[in-house]
């Protein structure tokens, strides 16, 4: 996939929580999270942290937009 397509694909993916990651690895790979190599565990956990941080940044930006709009509305009275 070209970089743009990869970005679009990433944007559309919902962040996973740790339980989902554990379930996916055990169901899809027919093995438990505990049986993964330490590197794979670290990668999954890091991806989870990045997804959480992305979502938090998105929420923070949205909160700032709402606050700015409220200030603007107050100033325009």
pLDDT digit string, tens, across residues 28-77 = 555 566 677 888 888 888 988 999 999 999 999 999 999 999 999 999 87
Task: Say what the pTM is.
Answer: 0.49
DSSP collapsed to 3 states, the chain: CCHHHHHHHHHHCCCCCHHHHHHHHHHHCCCCHHHCCHHHHHHHHHHHHHHHHHHHHHHHHHHHHHHHHHHHHHHCC
Q: Which residue has the higher pLDDT, 43 or 18?
A: 43
Query: Which range is most confident: 1-10, 11-20, 28-37, 56-65?
Result: 56-65
């Amino acid at each position: 996939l070209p970089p743009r397509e990869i970005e679009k694909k990433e944007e559309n993916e919902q962040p996973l929580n740790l339980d989902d990651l554990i379930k996916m690895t055990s169901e899809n790979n027919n093995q438990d999270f505990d049986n993964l190599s330490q590197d794979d565990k670290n990668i999954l956990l890091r991806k989870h942290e990045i997804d959480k941080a992305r979502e938090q940044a998105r929420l923070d930006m949205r909160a700032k937009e709402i606050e700015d709009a409220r200030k603007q509305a107050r100033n325009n009275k």
